[in-house]
């Protein structure tokens, strides 16, 4: 089984290895080594994968004005369309990776995947949450299944 899928993330989580999955994904198929390196600078708390309503999450990368990481529209669309095609052919899409801080959910990895899911009408999907603050971590754990309400 290929580990960097939703099922792979679930398997890692059951073994208590979700942080290892995150770094393996980011340094491999996620192509986001800089984010992985940044996460390693401090102790982080991880939770998930947990089902969350997509409209609770804030994208930070895309072609729209106001995005923190603004990218070329054609490139963004090409990636999104490729992912839609992959989903139609059985791709087990990896979970989103989301920072949680003081009630705010920011997608750090998975902005294209988030857009794909919204376009095909999915209302909720799995995310791995990370935070630096122990009280935010406890809040995440308490929310659990309420992230889909």
> Is 65 a member of any domain?
yes
C-alpha pair distances (Å), 79 with each of 28, 43, 76, 123, 134: 17, 32, 5, 20, 35
Quick count: other Cβ atoms within 10 Å of Cβ 103?
A: 7
> Is 111 a member of any domain?
yes
What's the CATH code of the domain at 97?
Answer: 3.90.1530.10
How far apart are the C-alpha atoms of 75 and 110, rounded to whole Å?
A: 15
How far apart are the C-alpha atoms of 89 and 13, rounded to whole Å?
A: 26
Query: How many structural domains comprise the chain?
Result: 1
> Is 30 a member of any domain?
no
> Is 132 a member of any domain?
yes
> Is 138 a member of any domain?
yes
pLDDT in tens, the chain (149 residues): 578 999 999 999 999 999 999 999 999 999 999 999 999 999 999 999 999 999 999 999 999 999 999 999 999 999 999 999 999 999 999 999 999 999 999 999 999 999 999 999 999 999 999 999 999 999 998 887 666 65
What domain range includes position 137? 45-148
Burial class, 3, CB count within 10 angstroms (exposed 0-12 / middle 13-18 / buried 19+)? middle
Quick count: other Cβ atoms within 10 Å of Cβ 106?
A: 13
Q: What does the pLDDT read at residue 3?
A: 87
> Is 56 a member of any domain?
yes
> Is 121 a member of any domain?
yes
């Amino acid at each position: 089984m290929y580990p960097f899928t939703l099922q792979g993330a679930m398997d890692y989580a059951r073994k208590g290895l979700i942080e290892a999955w995150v770094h393996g994904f980011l340094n491999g198929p996620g192509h986001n080594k800089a984010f992985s390196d940044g996460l390693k600078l401090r102790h982080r708390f991880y939770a998930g994968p947990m089902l969350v309503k997509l409209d609770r999450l804030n994208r930070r990368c895309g072609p729209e004005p106001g995005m923190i990481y603004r990218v070329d529209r054609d490139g963004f669309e090409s990636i999104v369309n490729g992912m839609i095609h992959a989903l139609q052919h059985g791709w087990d899409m990896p979970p989103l990776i989301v920072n949680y801080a003081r009630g705010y959910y920011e997608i750090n990895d998975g902005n294209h995947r988030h857009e794909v899911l919204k376009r095909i009408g999915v209302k909720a999907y799995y995310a791995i949450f990370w935070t630096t603050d122990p009280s935010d971590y406890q809040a995440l754990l308490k929310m659990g299944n309420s992230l889909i309400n």
